[in-house]
Amino acid sequence: MNSENDGWLELLRRTADAVEAALAGFDRWQDGGERPDQYALDQVADAAALGVLAAAGVGVLSEESGLRAGSGSETVIVDPVDGSTNASRGIPHYCISLCVVDSGNAGAATARTGATVVTPVAGLVRHLVSGEEFTAVAGEGAHLDGRPITPSGCEHGARAVIGVSGRPSSELPVWQVRVLGSAALDLCAVACGRLDAYLDLNSNHGVWDYAAGILICSEAGAWYGEAGGRELFHLSHSERRGPIAASTPELAALLRG
């Protein structure tokens, strides 16, 4: 790994450390935030993340506080607590999701939003209960706690266990379905073979929910796409997408049907 990539992952780890520290003594898990769809825990975590990222001079796109320009072309896409409803109810399945993207690089694996090219560079998803940490750097593979990961290789629905967001129907051609409440962790579960696929049934996710997870899936060798064929990576706070990931193209084709 080169020194620049080492630097990005180090920044993401320091950001995750700050969020963990901010929540360590937190005791208002069920309190609401400033918006109807927000918890106090989201705001506390966001403030901690922004403190680290602002000091580093990078741009930030956060679910909780929007888009802030930085001194360069890089932006860190932040979901301070993905799965905050789980956290508010004491369900131990939530994480911080962080993804560095470059809007000034027109290289391979790019996405376009208008005239802007957005390239994923590095991602980190840390489970805020177990401490498991998924990471990926573009072109350098994906890892869980430093160990390389790969998808399950499942090609058929008969034995497939998939994660979904939304209300699953009995028509899904798979063996079993899980609704776990964190897109970032579900995508990482596809990347390491715990789940065989992930579907957003309502196409209602902001880029912060899935950016790091999709990069981790991509670097692990999983198939990924968007329900409507749109680009996944962008820097809009208002746009929503339907991320999909699968262990193999064959399983993806079955699920997209």
Does residue 22 have a pLDDT over 80? yes
Number of Cβ atoms within 10 Å of the Cβ of 161:
16
User: 223 φ, ψ to 5°?
Assistant: -80, 145
Q: Give CA torsion, residues 162, 63, 4, 19, to 10 deg.
A: -90
pLDDT at 257: 73
pLDDT at 36: 75
Check: CB of residue 222 under 8 Å from CB of residue 130. Answer: no
Per-residue pLDDT, averaged over 79-93, amounts to: 96
User: 45 φ, ψ to 5°?
Assistant: -65, -40
pLDDT at 29: 85
pTM above 0.85, yes or no: yes
Query: Residue 232 carries which side chain, given as an amino acid letter?
Result: L
- Angle CA 125–131–136, to nearest 5: 30
Please state, in angstroms and rounded to a whole number, the distance separating the CA atoms of residues 152 and 235.
31
pLDDT at 3: 56
pLDDT at 112: 46
Please state, in angstroms and rounded to a whole number, the distance separating the CA atoms of residues 219 and 149.
9
How far from 208 is each of 4, 28, 98, 182, 241, CA to CA, in Å?
23, 24, 8, 11, 11
Does residue 144 have a pLDDT over 80? yes
Does residue 215 have a pLDDT over 90? yes
pLDDT at 121: 96
Task: Kindly report the average pLDDT of the chain as a whole number.
Answer: 92
pLDDT at 102: 94
Only one residue has tokens 């998808």, namely: 151
Does residue 170 have a pLDDT over 90? no
Per-residue pLDDT, averaged over 174-191, amounts to: 96
